[in-house]
Copies of this chain bind each other. A is one copy, B any other.
Amino acid sequence: MPAAAIPAPPWRAPKKAPAARQPLSAEAVLSTALRLVDRDGLDALSMRRVAQELGTGAASLYAYFANKDELLEQLLDRVVGEIPLPRADVPDWKAEVKRTCFASRNVFCSHRDLVRVARANIPTGLNSLRYTEALLALLRGAGIPDRICAWAMDQMSMVIIADAVEQSIHEELGRRTEAEAEPYLNQVRDYLAALPADEFPNLVALAPTMIEGSGDERFQFALDLMIDGLATYARPAGGAA
C-alpha cells in the first residue's frame, strides 16, 4: 500500500456503525437478555438476537457464558435478586412467609415467562442462596424442625414456580387481566358443561365452579393449605395471637 494510509474512503459507506458500543461484558449481556425477555418473551430469546441487540455476533457471547443454559441460569438468579428478602425478627412468621411467597410470584410474573426456566433445584446463584438463607432463618426461628424446614423450602419453591409458570402462560396467551380472561374462562365453562353428563357428572356439575376465583385467590388457597400445615410443626408460641 504505497499512498500511505488512505484517509477514509468516504464514497464507501462506513463499514459498520459509529459503534460507541460498550465493550461487552457478562453484565451487559444479561441486561440485554432480560430486556429482550421482558419485551418479547422467553421463546424469542436466542443467542443470535441477544448478540444482534448488542451489535455483535452470537459467537461473542460464548466468551462470557459457556452456553445458553448458563446464561438463562444467571438471568434467573438476577431476577430472584429482585425479590425482597423476608425478615426473621417479625412477630407473625406465617404472615411473613406468605408475604414473601406472594412477592416471589409477583417478581417472576413481572418478567413474562422467564420463570419457565426455573427448577426447584438446589440453589446455586448468589441471590438464590440469599433468598433460601433468609427463608430458612425465618422458618427455623419459628421453631420448625430442621428436616421439615428443608423439605418445606423445596415445596414452597415448587409451588411458587409452578403457579408463576401457569400464570405466565395465561398472560402470554393474552389473558392478562380478569376482563381479558373472561371470554376464555367462559369457553372453558361451556366446554365442560357440554360434556356427556352420564360419564362426567361431576365435571358438568362443577363447570361454573371450575372457573371461579382469580389467580390470586387460588394461590392464596394453596399457600394457606401449605403454610397452615407447616405451622403444626412449629413451636407452640410460634403462632401469632
Contact = CB atoms under 8 A, between A and B. Distances in A.
A222 interface: yes
Interface string A205-241: 1100110110000100110111011100000000000
B209 A154 contact: no
Contacts of A188: 122
Given A162-B162, A195-B129, A200-B133, A155 B225 contact: yes
A201 B141 CA distance: 13
Query: For chain A, what secondary structure do more than half of its interface residues adopt (helix, strand, loop), or is it mixed?
Result: helix
A147 interface: yes
Which of A122, A192, A213 has its CB near the most chain B CB atoms (within 10 A)? Answer: A122
Nearest to A88: B202
Contacts of A218: 151, 154-155
Nearest to A170: B121
A217 B149 CA distance: 14
Nearest to A233: B225
A103 interface: no
Interface in A134-179: 136-137, 140, 146-151, 154-155, 158-159, 161-163, 165-166, 169
Given A169-B119, A218-B151, A132 B203 contact: yes
Q: How large is the interface on A (under 10, 10 to 19, 20 to 34, 35 or more residues)?
A: 35 or more
A200 B188 CA distance: 47
- For the complex of A and B, list the 9 residue pairs with the smallest distance between their C-beta atoms, beginning with the closest: A136-B202, A225-B229, A162-B162, A158-B162, A146-B209, A229-B229, A150-B210, A133-B200, A155-B222
11 contacts: A119-B169, A120-B166, A121-B169, A129-B203, A148-B221, A149-B209, A150-B212, A150-B213, A158-B159, A225-B230, A229-B229
Interface of A: 119-122, 129-130, 132-133, 136-137, 140, 146-151, 154-155, 158-159, 161-163, 165-166, 169, 188, 192, 195, 199-203, 205-206, 209-210, 212-213, 218, 221-222, 224-226, 228-230
